[in-house]
Amino acid sequence: MHAEQTPLTGAEQIAWDLSDLYAGIDDPALSADMQRADEDAAALERDYRGDVATLAPDELAEAIARYEAIVEAATKIESFAHLIWSTDTANPRYGALLQKAAEWSSQLQQKLVFFTLEWVNAPDHVAHRLIEAPELAHYRHWLEVARLYQPHMLSEAEEKLLAEKAVTGREAWVRFFTELRGSARYTLDGQSLNESAALARLYDTDRDVRRRAAAALTEGLRANLPAATFIFNTLAADKASDDRLRRYPSWIASRNLSNEVSDETVEALIAAVTARYDIVARYYALKRRVLGLDELTDYDRYAPLPAAAASYQWDEARETVLRAYARFHPEVARIAGQFFERRWIDAAERPNKRGGAYSASTVPSVHPYVFMNYTGRARDVMTLAHELGHGVHQYLSREQGMLQAHTPLTTAEMASTFGEMLVFTDLMAQQSDPGVRLALLGHKLEDSFATIFRQVSMNRFEHGMHTARRAEGELTAERLGGIWLETQRAMFGDSVRLTDDYGVWWSYIPHFLHTPGYVYAYAFGELLVLALFAIYREQGAGFAPRYLDVLRAGGSDWPEKVLAPLGVDLTDPGFWQHGLDELDAMVTQAEEIS
């Protein structure tokens, strides 16, 4: 037995029950549902090919409902395959099911592509008349958004070919990267740790443990650096090709379109955040003084402040989150409570479980599932609050149906970060000890920095990577590391010394590959929530029912219209400054407490 064992948290047996989707990978319902979806897709094509733009409003509503049912059936199968694979990425049977679902889904998508193409290419006067028809009111926003892609859609044959090749192209490389991360091991003090366990050591109170953990992570990342460099280059080139074929003017344009936000709004967000990197430097200068260090290095970024060393058992985390949610609104706590009661959460650490955390919405006819790796740290409590915020949002928006339940990524982070703020505010209200209050405030600030400033700095890395890849060709690990260090050092200024070893840490971040351009959405959501929370403090209990209505709306309208009842104007270029001012005030509060 090793001298230092990972402490038990009570989450070791917290595993989800996926039987609401399927009983297991051998469930005959899986094959039956695939066959039924194939038959329904063939019938849809037989009944509507060539006629989509000529249908009467009631006929088109019926056709869309049939299309939506097929999409939901496919998403249910893919969701189950991905969820079970996430728990053990080294299990060949899980991998085989994931690949089978991906290949089958690609074939199904090819059968359905005619439907969206015919709608997208319908004459404007016909489309406008149908969008305004009362019979299609429920699908109005889906119809509007689909039309935005008209300049970027290819012919049906080309669309089918791209869908076919994506399974053995982009999707295969993303899966390989995820499995590479899942199987990676990091040797620390004689222990072989997976990624989540090794990263957790960066939050240790002992600086030497943090230093050794960073060294172990660097060593492990270097071992996989050739593969990661090749994957990043390949997927960056694939995106460049896709953008060129679809006539997108920049590497980020397709993501902005998907997020239902203008290029100008995103540029305003990034400009506002990068202009306030001084907030980050002020806080870390304070942290260095509180910790009594001559300088902070990259492995000190997450060092807990003196009163923040407490660990949380799983039951404590559950109680903490549900209590804060209940104080906001009982319905929020009731929904979140179901995730615990009905085993919709997978929180246990396992050797080949993928890292990170997420809430999977699955399909409206079932419910969301939450995935995380719980280690008992304060940050894990906030992660639980974050993912349950997503879960509550996804649960409430199910009433919009498969095609409109999901929000754009920009507002998808709203409920999750709002949930974190509820827990943080509740914990602060219970504490009178200045040291504990400073620790809580510091933790929240660091979370907000990670969500706002770090994500925007990672957007700057992505911008540098995609721009360089398109201009220079294949990039070396050193070139990618240089872009990474330049963009990260810009955020910290001289408040944190980033060592050269930190130059390989770009290579483990999955968002760059899974969803290119995604990361700025975190900053969008966090700044939105900081502004919303200020409104909530002013309005009190009357805010909660309107907030729940916003969550129920899902993706059924444009984000600015969905949020308008809460008093938010996303079209205001100065909007982002409200959230940044809140952060600035929190740093001032921390300085005063210290």
The 10s digit of each residue's pLDDT in 211-240 is 999 999 999 999 999 999 999 999 999 999
Judge whether 51 lies within some domain: yes
* Number of domains within the chain: 1
pLDDT at position 7 is 79
Residue 1 in 3-state DSSP?
A: coil
Among the residue ranges 128-142, 358-372, 521-535, the one predicted with the least confidence is 521-535
Spatial separation of the C-alpha atoms in residues 228 and 222, rounded to whole Å? 9
Q: Where are the alpha helices (DSSP H) in 121-224?
A: 124-131, 140-148, 156-168, 170-183, 195-200, 207-223
Residue-wise pLDDT tens digits, 162-216: 999 998 999 999 999 999 988 899 999 999 999 988 998 998 989 999 999 999 9
Structure token digits, residue 458: 């990672």
Spatial separation of the C-alpha atoms in residues 135 and 201, rounded to whole Å? 57
pLDDT at position 96 is 96
Residue type, 408: P
pLDDT at position 3 is 38
For range 279-308, the mean pLDDT = 92
- H or E element, residue 154: none
Q: Per-residue pLDDT for 6 more than 70?
A: no
Instruction: Write the CB contacts of 275 (distance below 8 Å, at least 6 apart in sequence).
Output: none
Longest Cα separation, the chain: 74
Q: How far apart are the first and last CA of the chain?
A: 41
Residue 297 in 3-state DSSP?
A: strand
Sign of CA dihedral 366, 371, 376, 382: negative
Among the residue ranges 54-63, 365-374, 559-568, the one predicted with the least confidence is 559-568
Q: Per-residue pLDDT for 413 more than 60?
A: yes
Judge whether 160 lies within some domain: yes
Judge whether 23 lies within some domain: yes
Domain containing 154 equals 19-168
Judge whether 67 lies within some domain: yes
Give the pTM. 0.86
Q: Where are the alpha helices (DSSP H) in 413-501?
A: 414-430, 434-451, 453-472, 477-492
Spatial separation of the C-alpha atoms in residues 513 and 552, rounded to whole Å? 30
Instruction: Write the CB contacts of 515 (distance below 8 Å, at least 6 apart in sequence).
Output: 255, 409
Spatial separation of the C-alpha atoms in residues 48 and 61, rounded to whole Å? 12
Residue-wise pLDDT tens digits, 294-341: 999 999 999 988 866 668 899 999 999 999 999 999 999 999 999 999
Residues facing residue 345 across a β-bridge: 370
Average pLDDT, the chain: 93
pLDDT at position 2 is 39
Residues facing residue 278 across a β-bridge: none
Structure token digits, residue 42: 């063939």
Q: Per-residue pLDDT for 539 more than 50?
A: yes
Residues facing residue 358 across a β-bridge: 371
Judge whether 590 lies within some domain: no
Structure token digits, residue 161: 């070919």
**Are the C-beta atoms of 484 and 468 separated by less than 8 Å?**
no
Q: Where are the alpha helices (DSSP H) in 370-413?
A: 378-396, 409-412
Spatial separation of the C-alpha atoms in residues 459 and 488, rounded to whole Å? 10
Judge whether 286 lies within some domain: no
pLDDT at position 309 is 60
For range 439-466, the mean pLDDT = 93
Of the chain, the percentage scoring pLDDT greater than 90 comes to 81
Judge whether 110 lies within some domain: yes
Structure token digits, residue 35: 């066959």
Residue-wise pLDDT tens digits, 489-533: 999 999 999 999 999 999 999 999 999 998 998 898 889 999 899
Judge whether 66 lies within some domain: yes
Residue type, 87: T
Residue 253 in 3-state DSSP?
A: helix
**Are the C-beta atoms of 167 and 102 separated by less than 8 Å?**
yes
Residues facing residue 497 across a β-bridge: 297
Spatial separation of the C-alpha atoms in residues 210 and 223, rounded to whole Å? 20
Q: What is the CATH number of the domain that holds 58?
A: 1.20.140.70
Q: Which pLDDT band holds residue 418 (cuts at 50, 70, 90)?
A: very high
